[in-house]
């Protein structure tokens, strides 16, 4: 099957993107991501790279001093703008943001779909003030999620597109370290979706609640966090 360019894929995806976001699996990912941004970004100036429809930005702006987002897809951004969010259309590899102008630049579920990953990380580092933070989420090559993805059929995103239609990269910690520009120091890690085998288990009564509880505890636990399906590198700007 043909691989669509990222913008066309996400413009198509925009009509469906929030269809399942209320389900326990997506809520858990969102909570763990927003919680991490709050740890570094309360009362600070934030930039979300690849903000999509603005679901996360709409939450982070509530504890930030200022919060803005950029995204490649006009379809996604139309929904973010309808939420009253400060957003602009741009590529992560060419941010229309002044150098050293925000305290935290964060990106979730985006960087794994960008071929020029070193370019995107260099841009995030550029816009952050010295002493500020880049929170960069990758898809972990050494995780249960990766294993399940390898054996499972591609997920249908809409009638036209499947998740195999978009460029996707899985990285281990060593590869991630190699992508970081010298001005970023990798200080902490959050591992998201450490033990959840498939999203549906979180919908089970009792078992789902127990797994969610465990995921919140494992996310920052050395050893466990390193095998999270999503690895967030928390990097200080030197």
Residue 108 interacts with ligand SAM (CB under 6 A): yes or no: yes
Q: Which one of the spans 45-53, 138-146, 212-220, 223-231 is the region binding ligand SAM (CB under 6 A)?
A: 45-53
Q: Which one of the spans 52-60, 180-188, 198-206, 224-232 is the region binding ligand SAM (CB under 6 A)?
A: 52-60
Decide: 236 and 135 in contact? Cβ < 8 Å: no
Residue 41 interacts with ligand SAM (CB under 6 A): yes or no: no
Distance CA 140, CA 184 (A): 20
Q: Contacts with ligand SAM in 57-86 (CB under 6 A)?
A: 71-73, 76
Residue 193 interacts with ligand SAM (CB under 6 A): yes or no: no
Cβ-based nearer residue to ligand SAM, 168 or 185:
168
Decide: 21 and 27 in contact? Cβ < 8 Å: yes
Nearest to 117 by CA among 171, 34, 179: 179
Using Cβ positions, the residue closest to ligand SAM within the complex turns out to be 52
Residue 92 interacts with ligand SAM (CB under 6 A): yes or no: yes
Binding footprint of ligand SAM, residue count (CB under 6 A): 18
Residue 122 interacts with ligand SAM (CB under 6 A): yes or no: no
Distance CA 70, CA 90 (A): 6
Q: Work out how close the CB of 107 gets to ligand SAM at its nearest, in angstroms, rounded to a whole number.
A: 7
Which burial class, exposed, middle or buried, applies to 205 when counting CB atoms under 10 A from its CB (0-12, 13-18, 19+)?
A: exposed
The end-to-end CA distance of the chain, in Å, is 43
Decide: 200 and 24 in contact? Cβ < 8 Å: no
Applying CB under 6 A, the residues found at the interface with ligand SAM are 6, 10, 50-52, 55-56, 71-73, 76, 91-92, 108-110, 113-114
């Amino acid at each position: 099957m043909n691989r669509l360019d990222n913008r066309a894929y996400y413009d198509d995806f925009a009509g469906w993107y929030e269809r399942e976001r209320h389900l326990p699996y997506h809520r858990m990912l969102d909570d763990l991501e927003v919680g991490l941004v709050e740890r570094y970004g309360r009362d600070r100036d934030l930039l979300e790279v690849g903000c999509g429809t603005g679901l996360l930005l709409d939450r982070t702006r509530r504890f930030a001093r200022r919060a803005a987002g950029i995204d490649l897809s006009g379809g996604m951004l139309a929904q973010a703008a309808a939420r009253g969010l400060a957003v602009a259309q741009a590529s992560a590899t060419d941010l229309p943001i002044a150098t050293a102008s925000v305290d935290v630049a964060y990106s979730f579920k985006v960087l794994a779909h960008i071929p020029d990953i070193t370019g995107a990380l260099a841009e995030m580092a550029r816009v952050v003030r010295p002493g500020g933070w880049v929170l960069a989420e990758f898809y972990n090559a050494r995780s249960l999620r990766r294993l399940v993805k390898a054996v499972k059929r591609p997920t249908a995103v809409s009638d036209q597109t499947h998740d195999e239609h978009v460029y996707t990269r899985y990285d281990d910690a060593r590869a991630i370290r190699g992508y970081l520009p010298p001005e970023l120091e990798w200080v902490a890690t959050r591992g998201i979706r450490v033990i959840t085998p498939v999203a549906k288990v979180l919908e089970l009564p009792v078992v789902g609640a127990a797994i969610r509880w465990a995921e919140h505890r494992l996310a920052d636990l050395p050893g466990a966090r390193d095998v999270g399906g999503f690895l967030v590198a928390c990097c200080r700007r030197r």
